[in-house]
Amino acid sequence: MITNKEKNFISAVIYVHNNEKEIGNFLEKINEKLHENFDKYEIICVNDASIDNSVEEIKKISDKISGTIISIINMSYYQGIELSMNAGTDLSIGDFVYEFDNIYIDYDLDVIMDVYKESLKGYDIVSAKSDSKKRMSSRLFYKIFNKNSNSMYQIHTETFRIISRRALNRVKSMNKTIPYRKAIYANCGLKVNVIGYQAVKDVHTKISKENSDIRKDLAIDSIILFTDVSYKFAITMLFIMMLVAGCTGIYTIYTFLCAKPIEGWTTTMLLLSFAFFGIFVILTIIIKYLSILIDLIFKKQKYIIESVDKITK
């Protein structure tokens, strides 16, 4: 039994989507660990338009929990992990905020305190990462992202993380909307660390079709927004097309001097060659400007909350 509890106020933001079978056990374990180690804390469950009895299960378990506040944010319709968790962190008031993107526990609960203690060493964002094998698609995404990102920190498949209030304030001052939290956290300029742990059991997380589609779109958007992949590809293709246009012009002049082309052919080909060359130059400039704009402004995104139920004990 811990008698000298931590004095920092803690918020735990939990993503919930059709998890009626798992949410009760998860809340019991998380609450037990937080109650054991912290004087004051809150639990925020973000219900992303669940169509099962997840909310009822949360309310049932709240009857057994005392000494804290449990809030349920009900999203108006399914909006995915990123926007839903943004809604949760916006409502949180803790000095430190835990982000639980899923409720499948494959770690010893002491890892929850390990990331907190690591944050007290001066790290504003500390993540827990399992040593279990990841999906090939995830490995490919992170490999492309980390290789082409300008961030000093690499991102990984993370189980959960803790974020200081200073980091949240920094991130929100950088961007009014956060399209991909991990990328923003890695680029916020504050100290980031990752704690690896050995998975105590195999956990197969459920990914709905809606979530899978959103993840695919998010992966593409993140590579465009936070890396140089699309810019490098576009510039490379433009230079290739400029080279082709230039070679066509040279070939046209060579044909005019050394052969007998059809009347008007040389003029037409030269006109087309220089026209396309000019278009590709203009497109290069436009793409450069767009890449600058992407660095400054992200596509506006909104989340819509239907209601907030506060359950106080």
In CATH, what number is assigned to the domain containing residue 154?
3.90.550.10
User: Which one, of 110, 108, 88, lies nearest residue 98 by Cα?
Assistant: 88
Q: Is 84 in the same domain as 223? A: yes
d(CA 43, CA 26): 12
Q: Is 211 in the same domain as 164? A: yes
* Assigned token pair, 262: 């059809």
pTM: 0.76
Query: Does some domain include residue 37?
Result: yes
Q: Is 202 in the same domain as 288? A: no
Mean per-residue pLDDT over the chain, rounded: 83
Query: Does some domain include residue 3?
Result: no
Among 1-15, 107-121, 125-139, 169-183, which is the least confidently predicted range?
A: 169-183
d(CA 214, CA 218): 6
Domain that holds residue 255: 229-296
Q: Is 250 in the same domain as 127? A: no
Query: Does some domain include residue 2?
Result: no
Better pLDDT: 165 or 180: 165
Query: Does some domain include residue 1?
Result: no
Q: Is 219 in the same domain as 251? A: no
Position 177 confidence tier, pLDDT thresholds 50, 70, 90? low
Position 256 confidence tier, pLDDT thresholds 50, 70, 90? confident
Better pLDDT: 240 or 61: 61
Mean pLDDT confidence for 147-175? 85
Is 11 a residue whose pLDDT tops 80? yes
* Straight-line distance from the first to the last Cα atom of the chain, in angstroms, rounded to the nearest whole number: 22
| Cβ contacts of 211-220, under 8 Å, gap ≥ 24 | 211/17, 211/80, 211/81, 214/80, 214/81, 214/82, 215/80, 218/80, 218/82, 218/179, 218/180, 219/141
Q: Is 151 in the same domain as 287? A: no
User: Which one, of 153, 212, 220, lies nearest residue 187 by Cα?
Assistant: 153
Mean pLDDT confidence for 151-159? 84
Query: Does some domain include residue 188?
Result: yes
One-letter identity of residue 36: E
Paired residues of 70 in beta bridges: 43, 311
Query: Does some domain include residue 205?
Result: yes
Position 173 confidence tier, pLDDT thresholds 50, 70, 90? confident
Query: Does some domain include residue 83?
Result: yes
Q: Is 114 in the same domain as 165? A: yes
d(CA 150, CA 146): 8
d(CA 141, CA 127): 18
Q: Is 134 in the same domain as 41? A: yes
Better pLDDT: 230 or 165: 165
User: Which one, of 44, 29, 39, 35, lies nearest residue 9 by Cα?
Assistant: 39
Q: Is 130 in the same domain as 270? A: no
Percent of the chain with pLDDT over 90: 39
Q: Is 196 in the same domain as 153? A: yes
Q: Is 28 in the same domain as 39? A: yes
Position 303 confidence tier, pLDDT thresholds 50, 70, 90? low
Query: Does some domain include residue 306?
Result: yes
Q: Is 125 in the same domain as 235? A: no
Q: How many domains does the chain have?
A: 2
- Yes or no: say if 216 and 222 are a contact pair by the CB < 8 Å rule: no
* Assigned token pair, 157: 């498949």
Is 231 a residue whose pLDDT tops 50? yes
- Which pLDDT score, from 0 to 100, does residue 46 have? 96
